[in-house]
Amino acid sequence: MEIRIEEMAFSYASVPVLKDICLDIREPQFVSILGPNGVGKSTLIHCINKILDPTAGKVFLDGRSVKEYSLKEMAKEVGYVPYSSSDTFPLSVVDTILLGRHPHAGWKTSDEDLEIVYDTMSKLGIEDLALRPFNELSAGQHQKVMLARGLVQRPKVLLLDEPTSNLDVKHQLGISRLLKHLSHEDGILVIMISHDLNIASKYSDNIILMYEGAIYAVGTPAQVLTRENVLTVYGVDSEIIDDGGRPHLVLKDLESGECLPMADSAVCTSIL
């Protein structure tokens, strides 16, 4: 499965979010999209799986414009794992994951569907949660269930919006390794939005770094995660350490006195 994006742009009403996006992803691999908040990372992946229609330019999956895909066809090719999921009317974990079979299944749940769900749950180590209500799970378990829902779509491309944001370090590493495994062993093109530069660097084959609504740099972690790039894009200085051929960033504190707007000055001083 390959993705080709040609001069794509997207704006909400009159506010431009993305501009001049050109991208060509050919083989199954593990790609991370990095960039500051509000840069358009989510918008970019929404434009790939038809959740949003680009205002200009084109997106192709396997050489076919996404406009020609029906929603159901798209759901068979591209899985999507959202950042969070509503639970107004929570289902059990099995039934929540079964929703991912919707593009393939009819009204009745088949044995095959259940097998796929069970396999996926055991792969993620959540089979013991099977009949628990979704709303009673911890944030980390939520995220795994949503990942499972994306996986049972049996997609060729898997898009994930910050899949490790609510997990502890052990599970962050576990999920990231699983995603890498999926891309290398199962031949799925995995595209993940992340805020953790070091996790992205450790596991990704390639990184897309975004800045001001455009793609700032694309390449291997070593090519993209340089001190200059991180300084420009995030405004944070860092020291790069070599970790087995992959960059590991040690972030430096912001310039003295420059507190993020969230922390008021009282907090800054009182921590002394």
Partner 1 sequence: MTEQASNKDFKAEYSRYVWFKLLFIAGLGVLTFFIFWISLCVGTRDLDVATVFDYFIKHLQGVTYEPRSQQAFDDSIVWNYRVPRALFGIISGAGLAISGAIMQSVMKNPLADPYTTGVSSGALFGVAIAITLGFSFGGSGIAGVGTVLNAVLMAMVPVVVILLFSPFFRKSPSTLILAGVAVSYMFNALTSILLVSTDEANLDIVYRWQVGSFTDLSWGSLPLMTISVIVGIAIILPLSNKLNLMSLDDKDAKSLGLNSERLRIVCLVILSFISASIVSYVGIIGFVGLVIPHMVRMIIGSDNRFLIPGSVVLGAFFLTACDIISRALDVQAEVPVGVVTSFIGAPIFLYLIIRQKSGVW
Out of 37, 63, 111, 269, name the contact with partner 1 by CB under 8 A: 111
Q: Is residue 39 a contact partner of residue 214, using CB atoms and an 8 Å limit? A: no
Contact in structure between 1 and 74 (CB atoms under 8 Å): no
Residue 88 binds to partner 1 (criterion: CB under 8 A): yes
Shortest reach from residue 84's CB to partner 1, in Å: 9
**DSSP helix/strand/coil, 174:** helix
Phi, psi torsion values for 151, nearest 5 degrees: -70, -35
CB of 192 to partner 1, least distance (A): 15
- CB distance 84 to 160 below 8 Å: no
Burial class (CB in 10 A: 0-12, 13-18, 19+), 118: middle
Q: Which of residues 35-64 bind partner 1 (CB under 8 A)?
A: 46, 49-51
Q: Rule CB under 8 A: is residue 86 a binding residue for partner 1?
A: yes
Residue 122 interacts with partner 1 (CB under 8 A): yes or no? yes
Binding-residue pattern over the window 137 to 176 for partner 1, x denoting contact by CB under 8 A: ----------------x-----------------------
Distance of CA 243 to CAs 163, 195, 203, Å? 23, 19, 12
Residues at the interface with partner 1 (CB under 8 A): 46, 49-51, 70-76, 78-80, 82, 85-92, 94-95, 99-100, 102-103, 107, 111, 114-115, 118, 122, 127, 130-131, 133, 135, 153
